[in-house]
Structure 1
Amino acid sequence: MSNDPASPTTSAIAAQPSYIVLPREGELAGKQYQTVFAFLVDHFKQIDASVWRQRINDGKVHWQNGELINENTAYQATARVYYYREVQAETKVPFSEQILFQDNDTIIVYKPHFLPVTPGGNYVNECLVHRLRIATQIETVAPAHRLDKDTAGVMLMTVNPYTRHAYHQLFLDDNITKDYQAIAKVTPEILTQLANNTCKLPLSWTVKNRIVAANPSFTMQVVEGEANSHSEISLVAVKQGLGLFELSPITGKTHQLRVHMQSLGMPILHDRFYPVLQPKGPDNFAKPLQLLAKRLRFTDPISGIAQDVQCKGLDLSAMLV
């Protein structure tokens, strides 16, 4: 594997369109738009008006029925506007996904580190959904749940729009079990206790606290108040100061496991957000976040089959090389 921070980049246009629903008048905070163009320019402030003008002139903005939108097309509240995201430089993620199971309703897949599930930021086609649509020739592939771009592991995808709701309901009803692994530096106190035989593995923690958005808003923090998050965490192996942890998120807050490991004084290895947000820069593919969604267990709501799918675990020894 190369130690270069990132693979070569190329310009890219999304193969699949994104869309936005035009807000009703009451949702516009007093603003009024005569044209779709005016709304797009004002709503997506990070994109210059000239870029939207070029996309429109190139036929890359249209209504749901495919009818093209021009600069003078009138604003229509609640209508969907479709457009194709573009980036000047899209980084190629040099790791592969792997399909672990597939039937008429689902795909269970291993997602590698660094690969986003859906388009976002500087990624338009380098995402799990697009890769699976190409690999399977199924255009209706969609995720049933979230997994951070920086996290690798087992994911449940749906392929049948008519049964998709049943798989979403698994997560809403807590009828699916997710098991994770992580590697982190063990605190000096725990290392001393292990060395003195005043404690032994496994060591376990129940972590319950209140997690809310921090500043910047894509990070999370623990605050005082009623707990809204719950994780069960165990330290199962230690080698040269590094620990292998098994984690079970009982709730599903954004970055929950990363924040909970930080709250124990053992932030996950190579975490660029916690405990200190690192400056924005290219991904370092030689140092993936050591967090893995290792196992997914559920009873399929359509077939009734008990699914128990897992991938290869994290390698503690490899972190010591």
Structure 2
Amino acid sequence: MSAASSVDDGDVRQFTVTKDDDGVRLDRWFKRNLPAVGFATVSRWARTGQLRVDGKRADVDTRLEKGQVLRVPPGGSAPPGIKSARPKKPLTEEQITLAESMVLTQDRAAIVLNKPPGLATQGGSGTHEHVDGLLDAYADEKGPRPRLVHRLDKDTSGVLLIARTPGSAAFFSKRFSGRTARKIYWALITGVPEIKDGLIELPLAKQPGTGGEKMMVDETEHGQSARTRYRVIGRAGNAACWVELQPLTGRTHQLRVHMAAIGHPIVGDGKYGGQAAFLTGAISRKMHLHARRLRIEHPEGDLLDVTAPLPDHFAASMVHLGFHEADGDLPLEQVKLVPDKVIEKRAAKAHAKEYRKERRGERRKRADAPPSGRSAPKPRAGVKKGPGSKAPTGTALARASAGRASAERNAAERAANGGKPVRRAPAPGKTGGGKPPAGKAPRRGPKP
């Protein structure tokens, strides 16, 4: 039973949140249990304080917990015992057989599938056969319909987790969004990376003009952070190698774009690797990317750890290249995850530092430049010139040398004269003391 109800005075109802609805938003609870009550009505009840959870006012985005009591005012239709489930989609015998063949393990909270390559996870334009359309094959007669928790690309095979109840769906979704779930992929790639154990950190964004169907590396502010850990398990000469991939973020086509970006596209991934993604000989042209293992916390407190066997084409390529599956299950190392907010802060800090450097260089150039319309000031006496200053000219050197010789001669003559200054006769045509030469009258200015 999804909710237990009792009627108070005035038809005010109370519902006890069960395990299936643990962790869901209040508006989602109404959609599941009281579908006749629209979102506008729920919002009005919350805004006016008529919705109460354990006696406290609640908003539409309040997360419910098992055992809480929800007070609902009159209106809408309460489910008789359990909510009415939508009619199950009729499936053919082939669809039921396919659905059953994919199951790796299941319990009251989860169904773990081994999705084959070529089967889409969800429907879309022109896609009629998909995993989401087969989920009614796993539904109980009176229970809720199972739901997807995460996705795999159409041509990617491997572990796919399905939640059996709304409560387990909320639980698993929180583990995926919090990145505590660990996913291990196997891939065959062309060539051999120079670094055998590396971390790819390249932001991704949707490629313009593709309708969001293709991603690209975008190191501008529009790119979203994306990180992939890879380890080389084995190599087939220089033509190809077998790698283990761990996505540390969950961007669309992340593994495919990252491997192509470092020059080693996944074998068979023509979308991102072009013709370079295909090997000659007996190697299949299908994409060789497989979700090998998933380890995630279970709602009952255990650890769900599931491994999916390889599809036929991948296994055949492994044999052809001389690889052995037993060599690939390496210890699952713990990689310290850095939250996106921390990475964004680091990037912003680095950008601000670079901007300050550029501004500091501009200020120095302006300070060194002379004012507009003026020549650079001459250095004062005693100021040393920098390393880039010009050397003195020949004329300046000659003047300095002549000055030193005159000083030395005067000192020698004074010493010879007992330390007294020496009086020299004026040169021919010159007189000392400022008097004019003999026989010549001083020049006068013009008469007024």
TM over 0.5, yes or no?
yes
Aligned with residue 170 of structure 1, among 163, 175, 184: 175
Query: Deviation at 1:170?
Result: 0.7
Instruction: Pick from 183, 205, 217 the counterpart of residue 198 of structure 2.
Output: 205
- Structure 2 CA distance, aligned partners of 1:258 and 1:229? 12
Q: 2:293 aligns with which of 284, 292, 295?
A: 295
Distance 2:249 2:198 in 1: 15
Give the AA of the match of 1:101. Answer: T
1:237 is aligned to 234
Contact 1:129/1:141, CA 8 A, preserved across alignment: no
Alignment of 1:101 onto 2:105: yes
1:115-151: CA deviations, max 9, x gaps? 0112123222x21122342255576121101111111
CA distance in 1, matches of 2:136, 2:320: 34
Is the contact made by 1:213 and 1:220 (CA closer than 8 Å) also made in structure 2? yes
Partner of residue 255, structure 1: 253
CA distance in 2, matches of 1:257, 1:225: 20
8 Å Cα contact 1:114/1:288 also seen in 2: no
Q: What is the one-letter code of the residue matched to 2:215?
A: M
Deviation at 1:276, TM superposition (A): 3.6
Q: Which one-letter code corresponds to 1:210 in the other structure?
A: P
Structure number with higher helix proportion: 2
Q: Is the CA contact 1:211–1:222 (under 8 Å) kept in the aligned structure 2?
A: yes
3-state SS in 1 of match to 2:285: coil
User: Residue type matched to 2:132 in 1?
Assistant: V
How many pairs were matched up?
Answer: 210
Q: What do the CA deviations read for 1:207-248 (whole angstroms, capped 9, x no partner)?
A: 001100013131111122366000001111012522101000
Shift of 1:318: 4.2
In 2 relative to 1, CA 130–274 (structure 1 residues): closer, same or farther, beyond 3 Å?
same
Percent of pairs with identical residues: 27
Could you tell me how far apart the structure 2 residues matched to 1:319 and 1:287 are?
Answer: 14
Q: Write the distance in 2 (CA, Å) between the matches of 1:256 and 1:113.
A: 18
Residue in 2 that maps onto 1:270 = 268
1:75-154 aligned within 5 A: 97-124=101-128, 126-134=129-137, 140-154=145-159
Alignment TM-score, normalising by the size of structure 2: 0.43
Q: Which amino acid aligns with 1:208?
A: E
List gaps (5 residues or longer) in structure 2.
1-39, 41-76, 78-94, 277-283, 323-448
The structure that is strand-richer by fraction is 1
Q: Which residue of 2 aligns with 1:84?
A: none
Q: Which amino acid aligns with 2:203?
A: R
Shift of 1:175: 1.4
CA contact (8 A) 2:266 2:273 kept: no
Q: Per the alignment, do residues 145 and 152 of structure 1 end up closer, same or farther by CA in structure 2, a change over 3 Å counting?
A: same
The 10-residue stretch of structure 1 (158-167 or 230-239) with the greater mean CA deviation from structure 2: 158-167
Structure 1 or 2, whichever has the larger Rg, is: 2
